[in-house]
Structure 1
Amino acid sequence: MGAAERPMLSYFEKAPPLAAMAIAKLCGVDVEFKADPKFTKDSLPALSLPGGDQLVGLTPILRYFGRLQDPFYGGDAFTSVQVDQWLEFAPHLVTGGGLEPACATVNEALALRTYLAGYRLSPADIAVWGQLQVTLQWDKLRRSGTLPHLGRWFELVSTEALLKEVAEKHGPKKPSSRQEFRKELAAAGMGGGDTGSFKIDLRNVVKGAVKTRFPPEPSGYMHIGHAKAALLNYHIATLHGGHMAIRFDDTNPAKENTEYVDAIIADVERLGLKFKGPITYTSDYFPQMLDLAERLIRAGTLYADDTPVEQMRAERLEGIESKRRNRPVEESLAVWKEMVEGTPEGKKSCMRFKIDMKDNNYTLRDPVAYRCNDTPHWRTGTKYKVYPTYDCACPFVDALEGVTHALRTSEYKDREAQFYWVLKAQQQVWPGLPDVQIWDYSRLALVNTVLSKRKLTWFVDSKHVDGWDDPRMPTVQGVFRRGLQLEALKDFILAQGASKNCTLQEWDKLWTINKRLIDPVCPRHVAVKSEGRVKLRLNNGPAEPEVVSVPKHKKNPDVGVKATTRTKEIWLEEEDAQVISEGEEVTLMDWGNAIVQRVSKDESGAVTGMEGVLHLEGSVKATKLKLTWLPVTDALTPLRLFDFDHLITKKKPEEDDKIEDLVNPNSRTECAAWGDANMQELRKGEVLQLERKGYYIVDVPAGPAGQPAVLFSIPDGHQKKPAAAAAAAKPAGEPKKPAAAPKKAAPAGESKPAAAPGTAAPAEAPNAAARSVQKVESFKVPPTPHNSCVLPELDPQDCGQPDVTSALKVASSALAAGASPPPTSATSGTPSDTS
């Protein structure tokens, strides 16, 4: 086509038609793209053809470009119609109230698909991709983790080289990778939306001299709310060239012990936080604080009060002054001496700040500064009988240690005035104490979660959990034991920035970030539940076990290869066996196709056995069921699969709720299963994916004497049913609910999503009712205390392949020597590739 015959596409300069640019490149169409200064935001792109004809509007232009290379448009009439429907649907994906429901429609259509139409990239994908690329609201939706299938598809399509080139050259500037996202988080003031901003108005900042502190109370294990505090203190200090210190606030001997101190120190190390100087303790300053009390009494700032606790609480509420408030200084000093010595008379009193009992701020109504406690202190033993309260100790020790900025959660906003008043009073009797500035930020709140140490301690003491590191606990050790990665926790917290806005966070968002980290690098393995498993005999299968090598990760060869044994008899999941018809062709993942010729059932209708033949020349794309399987051998790995739910049933618990009324009695389920032989080598803490089941972390490795490996499921941000309940095989390549595409965009603000372009329903199979696999219920287990089921012993007659172990050893040696794995028959459309 000569220069004079070259088509020209004109468009508004601020709205480049990315989809048209991308399709033209992919189809090899020589087009001149021109930003027309006469075009406005309401102008439609226009394609002028050499013969004088013109196409106006993005949809007809995309159709024209796509049809210049017919196979690209679908290759057959049915797929071409699907492409047309998606081209009509794409314009609905615009910023506004209708974007999220429209995206949800696309997300549902992609649940069992790799691409929108057919089995490869088509104009349908590029049209939707082009709309999302220029819709900044999509970036926030994608990071929310609520649209996992659409997010997965978007990342896949965006890796196409030509599309990536078009987006980088003509698309809006925004982070396109996790690495860029992290860089944005780390830069002060670069946040926005989900990114989180650290451009905060810190007063009296001297570059290089900022000192923050992380002051945990050693009365429990560190939870993720404390992790947020530690990470923010560290981040803001380093942002200004300063450093963070760690100081334990150990002023309440009744709740503290060495175990908690050791656990918190270990968790700080797990978080990778660097702090300057030695770890300190408020108890290091007890001598100075006794001296401080006497100075404050002599100054008339403290007075001794023996008012009973309940009466004192009522008087503070009503603004009534204590009868002891104006007692002489000498009397308060005498009572103080009794308190220091721990005498019976001294234990009746406390020391209170004399501030203002009529102040509207309740925290300024003469708060307690010192009180007696007979409990031996975990560090100082019985040396001291009187201890400062947090409200008294915190300002003083902060100032003594040179803390310049104290970060506190916004729930303590009312206490800021108290902090500054107390510090000023202390400065008046202790010359040289510097000022400390407070910055408040939002407390971390998560759905179906309590972060109160008192309530978490109740769960531990009442044996509702196995300890502070139970994977259901929101402690640092608990979430890490469940499979959360450190970088995911950091990203999640830094994404919130130093905002003061209190919001209830979804766990799904955290686990979605985590999935993005583990999915590209974790190996894939296979497991079959023990209960109800069904044996399939392949009459033309290998006479002797065959060991082949297959990739541990189909998309990442760096993960390595694993040995897979192929035998004449194999195990299938019960749920899969129930939906297979006689004569049906299925795909055995990492092997090939097979035709099931006979299905045996008992009187209840449960499948008890199957027979069939391998049909390796069959097309993987033509089968509806893609099945995971295990060989019938004596080399399988026994497994205990655990799934977890929230500890409490209420989404947003209130402070006055009784925790025992909110307990979820079914927060842990267990299922016995068998895994592939490679899982014998898994070590504690390794993360993996059980294909078609989900992500897991190894809590206890398999033992040498047949002890089962214990695996904990890792949430992926959208999974609702327990992963151990492994749903039956789902037909690949078709949306769940076919429907016609809309012809008109929804009105602005319309929340009802447009219908997704669909496909024709397949012909009814004899067991069509049983094939409604999307509705398979989660597995049922006996009602034992933890819903656990006993791991059954293998029947020796089910494992009669004595030479498999030696064959595996030979294969392992070959793999170690660098043998290349053979090509696999798995397609990119299998559930394991798209999860």
Structure 2
Amino acid sequence: MSEYELKVATRGNHAALLPVVLIVTSINEARPTPVVKITYEDTALLQDGDKAIVQLTSGSNSVFGTANVIQELTTHFPFLAGKDSKQEAEWISQLDSLTTLDFKALDPVLQRLDAHLLMRSFVVGYSLSTPDIALWGALRGNRVAVAALKKGSLVNLTRWYRFLEELCPWTSAAVESMNAVAKEKKVAKSKEGASYDIALKNTENGVVTRFPPEPSGYLHIGHAKAALLNDYFAHEKYNGTMLLRFDDTNPSNEKQEFEDAIVEDLALMGIKPNKMTYTSDYFDELYDHCIQIIKQGDAYADDTDKETMAAQRWDGLPSKRRDLSPEESLAHLEEMKNGTPEGLRWCIRAKISFDCPNKAMRDPVIYRCNPAVHHRTGSKWKIYPTYDFACPIVDSMEGVTHALRTIEYRDRNPQYQWMLDTMKMRNVQVWDFARMNFVRTLLSKRKLTKLVETGLVWGWDDPRFPTIRGIRRRGMTIPALREFILKQGPSKAVTNFDWGLIWATNKKYIDPIAPRHTTIYNKNVVKTTVTGGPATPYSEEKPRHIKNAAVGMKKVVYSSSIILEQEDVKLFKPDEEITLMNWGNAIVRKVTTNAETGIITDLELELHMAGDVKKTEKKVTWLATEGQDLVPVELVDFDHLLTKDSLGEDDVLEDYLNMHTEFREEGLADCNVADLKESDIIQFDRKGYYRVDRAYSPGKPAVFFNIPSGKSK
């Protein structure tokens, strides 16, 4: 749990809001897990007295106002303070003057900053400090200041502004997240929710999108958003083309099984790509491009070991092989292509920069050796392009006009553009959107694979998994899935959704059509005699859904011998009138309890059909034990696989695995349940919605998976 909370009035002046929001974001970015929770309030002021639009709370202590909150943060997080506190404080004091929208008042401040930055990369000292972040935020939140920067006359200030944006890519993401949250709160007030009604740039010559999954696992709910978004822009918004391209560049992890499943899952979601392609279709062309980029001097061969390379990239140090000649690098590429022992030691790296502030630009690997057999090309190739190299090139070659990428790729967007520019290829418009995350849920394919391979789950269609097949097996309907995802819109706000939201959407679809049935738990079931009940059992045809006649009819059996659940009977009082659901009222006449265990073994009720069901406190389910063959059932419920809402980078998966996630109850159900088929969705009265995972057969109970309704338990 976060020790601090920052509340932000999103309708306040953004030039005053953003300095604080970005400083807090920098604090959270520096920690394995966020330590300051940010809450956005849809209001103009948090406290009228001092016109505060930001509030920092720690325990019972609260601080209001931009300057006060920054000072408080600097006190609690000393790393925010630099070596020259006096000069830093002076620049922080200028924040208020950057909130005005009067250009005449704003211009002198901008001119002063521009002059100050003439020979400087940072506002104070020789490294990033709090004034840099705060001043950048104030400028970003002031539309007049942004317009002034675009004119190009403030050369030094513009250079610094862009440098900060590249150095700290999370700044732009934080701004967009705040703006998106504010917009989403407005959208939430409408019944229709969000939509993808947003214009892409440069659409006058048509729109071609692509969905590029790797066939190394099953589609999960995060992929579903990407697929639906590409489908929407291509087929609904612009009447364009959508490509399904399998990024099959890692033969060690890919299988035909996954490819087939992805195609099937897309079809289930109503997504019909115009064309299906493979990155492997372009292996020859990609190899030629690799040769070209080496000859240009824009790539080199490297045999630095993986650990050393990672350390050098992190520290901004050049590889000892960085200055290899193109001829030497091409010779090593040939060894790699042939899969020789020597070739296996080498890779090819783009020669972009070894010390760029954006670490994604630090000479990324673009080709690596892998002798594994490819599921499509067999043993033809021993080298394969990385996604970062292949994706922009194939996008350009296939005529993709708009590459939709999740926001975690934002740091790699300059890399994407560098590849196209360096290869002198047609440009592709990159458009970011936030992936959909859910609390206590893994979306990492690598971690999901680990759970499958270690046997902690049943497989990729495990109902605890966020895969399309997993949530469908749990009882999610495709229309509900589509509605929920489409309602989120093309937001760039990174949000951890609660599963209750999507299951509540699902309930709207299943409740009107789910047949109603009855089941009684076996454990300590109470045998009950109903005085005044029928001398011989009889049955009546009743609606399977009281509000929807189209669902059909079911057989309800009445008898003087019935069973009730132990937990219900324990609450009965002598001579209390209760309601037997779908029958009538009855009066409790005798309760027999085992003196040693305290368990109720027998019950006598007196039928009272004249009683008013509206006046009884307790309404219970029951089943006749005569006149029908009760169906043995297993009711299965599940918990989340994780014990923590969101894993941080340093969190060890095994430390947060929930080892008790499956709960089974045996019971008996009414005779109609014997006719249910696999995947049927029903409601057991007073228990909830269920999907048939295994239909009943003689000797084998029917198995039902509980479908969450969106309510907290």
The SS at the match of 1:343 is coil
Q: After superposition, where does 1:419-818 map in structure 2 within 5 Å?
A: 419-427=416-424, 433-603=425-595, 604-633=597-626, 635-703=629-697, 705-720=698-713
Amino acid at match of 1:623: T
Q: Provide the rounded CA distance (Å) in 2 between the counterparts of 1:596 and 1:192.
A: 52
**What residue number does 1:230 align with?**
227
- Are the counterparts in 2 of residues 197 and 499 from structure 1 also a CA contact under 8 Å? no
Tell me: CA distance 1:675–1:593, structure 2 relative to 1, closer, same or farther (3 Å).
same
Q: Provide the rounded CA distance (Å) in 2 between the counterparts of 1:302 and 1:422.
A: 11
The SS at the match of 1:236 is helix
**What residue number does 2:354 align with?**
357
Deviates more, 1:375-384 or 1:396-405: 375-384
- Are the counterparts in 2 of residues 523 and 689 from structure 1 also a CA contact under 8 Å? yes
Amino acid at match of 2:221: I
Deviation at 1:679, TM superposition (A): 0.5
Deviation at 1:96, TM superposition (A): 12
**What residue number does 2:32 align with?**
none
The SS at the match of 1:421 is helix
**Post-superposition CA distance 1:300-332 (Å, at most 9, x none):** 111111122222222212222222212221111
**What residue number does 1:816 align with?**
none
- Are the counterparts in 2 of residues 190 and 197 from structure 1 also a CA contact under 8 Å? no
The SS at the match of 1:413 is helix
Deviation at 1:200, TM superposition (A): 3.3
Q: After superposition, where does 1:35-54 map in structure 2 within 5 Å?
A: none
Q: Provide the rounded CA distance (Å) in 2 between the counterparts of 1:594 and 1:200.
A: 61
**Post-superposition CA distance 1:42-94 (Å, at most 9, x none):** xxxxxxxxxxxxxxxxxxxxxxxxxxxxxxxxxxxxxxxxxxxxxxxxxxxxx
Q: After superposition, where does 1:126-165 map in structure 2 within 5 Å?
A: none
Q: Provide the rounded CA distance (Å) in 2 between the counterparts of 1:360 and 1:200.
A: 32
Q: Normalization by structure 2: what TM-score?
A: 0.72
Q: Provide the rounded CA distance (Å) in 1 between the counterparts of 2:592 and 2:709.
A: 36
Deviation at 1:656, TM superposition (A): 2.2
Q: Provide the rounded CA distance (Å) in 2 between the counterparts of 1:717 and 1:701.
A: 25
Tell me: CA distance 1:706–1:344, structure 2 relative to 1, closer, same or farther (3 Å).
closer
Q: After superposition, where does 1:199-214 map in structure 2 within 5 Å?
A: 199-206=197-204, 209-214=206-211
**Which one of the candidate residues 217, 240, 246 is aligned to 1:248?**
246
**Post-superposition CA distance 1:228-265 (Å, at most 9, x none):** 11011111222111121101101111111111111111
- Are the counterparts in 1 of residues 420 and 426 from structure 2 also a CA contact under 8 Å? no
Q: What stretches of structure 1 move > 4 A for 4+ residues in a row?
A: none
Deviation at 1:191, TM superposition (A): 8.7
Does structure 1 residue 413 correspond to structure 2 residue 410?
yes
Q: Provide the rounded CA distance (Å) in 2 between the counterparts of 1:376 and 1:710.
A: 41
**Post-superposition CA distance 1:692-732 (Å, at most 9, x none):** 000000011101x2421100000000141xxxxxxxxxxxx
**Which one of the candidate residues 332, 335, 341 is aligned to 2:332?**
335
Does structure 1 residue 276 correspond to structure 2 residue 274?
yes
Q: Provide the rounded CA distance (Å) in 2 between the counterparts of 1:511 and 1:619.
A: 35
Q: Provide the rounded CA distance (Å) in 1 between the counterparts of 2:530 and 2:347.
A: 82
Q: Provide the rounded CA distance (Å) in 1 between the counterparts of 2:434 and 2:213.
A: 17
The SS at the match of 2:423 is helix
Q: Provide the rounded CA distance (Å) in 1 between the counterparts of 2:291 and 2:45.
A: 64
Deviation at 1:220, TM superposition (A): 1.0
Query: Which protein, 1 or 2, shows the higher relative CO under an 8 Å CA cutoff with sep ≥ 6?
Result: 1
- Are the counterparts in 2 of residues 550 and 590 from structure 1 also a CA contact under 8 Å? no
**Post-superposition CA distance 1:6-57 (Å, at most 9, x none):** xxxxxxxxxxxxxxxxxxxxxxxxxxxxxxxxxxxxxxxxxxxxxxxxxxxx
Structure with a larger share of its residues in strand: 2
- Are the counterparts in 1 of residues 440 and 646 from structure 2 also a CA contact under 8 Å? yes
The SS at the match of 2:464 is coil
| Structure 2 unmatched ranges of 5 or more | 1-43, 47-183
Q: Provide the rounded CA distance (Å) in 1 between the counterparts of 2:497 and 2:708.
A: 16
**What residue number does 1:826 align with?**
none
Q: Provide the rounded CA distance (Å) in 1 between the counterparts of 2:614 and 2:319.
A: 83
Q: Provide the rounded CA distance (Å) in 2 between the counterparts of 1:651 and 1:336.
A: 45
Tell me: CA distance 1:287–1:191, structure 2 relative to 1, closer, same or farther (3 Å).
farther
The SS at the match of 1:414 is helix
The SS at the match of 1:509 is helix
Q: Provide the rounded CA distance (Å) in 2 between the counterparts of 1:445 and 1:286.
A: 33
Q: Normalization by structure 1: what TM-score?
A: 0.62
Q: Provide the rounded CA distance (Å) in 2 between the counterparts of 1:307 and 1:246.
A: 35
Deviation at 1:605, TM superposition (A): 2.2
Deviation at 1:664, TM superposition (A): 0.8
Q: Provide the rounded CA distance (Å) in 2 between the counterparts of 1:608 and 1:300.
A: 86
Q: Provide the rounded CA distance (Å) in 2 between the counterparts of 1:231 and 1:436.
A: 20
| Structure 1 unmatched ranges of 5 or more | 1-94, 98-188, 428-432, 721-835
Amino acid at match of 1:245: L
Q: Provide the rounded CA distance (Å) in 2 between the counterparts of 1:651 and 1:542.
A: 54
Question: Cα RMSD between the aligned structures?
Answer: 1.9
**What residue number does 1:400 align with?**
397
**What residue number does 1:136 align with?**
none
Q: Provide the rounded CA distance (Å) in 2 between the counterparts of 1:365 and 1:96.
A: 44
Q: Provide the rounded CA distance (Å) in 1 between the counterparts of 2:621 and 2:366.
A: 65
Deviation at 1:408, TM superposition (A): 0.6
Identical amino acids, percent of aligned pairs = 48
Deviation at 1:190, TM superposition (A): 14
Q: Provide the rounded CA distance (Å) in 1 between the counterparts of 2:665 and 2:370.
A: 49
Deviation at 1:520, TM superposition (A): 1.2
Q: Provide the rounded CA distance (Å) in 2 between the counterparts of 1:205 and 1:291.
A: 31
Q: Provide the rounded CA distance (Å) in 1 between the counterparts of 2:352 and 2:320.
A: 15
Deviation at 1:268, TM superposition (A): 0.9
Amino acid at match of 1:527: T
Amino acid at match of 2:426: P
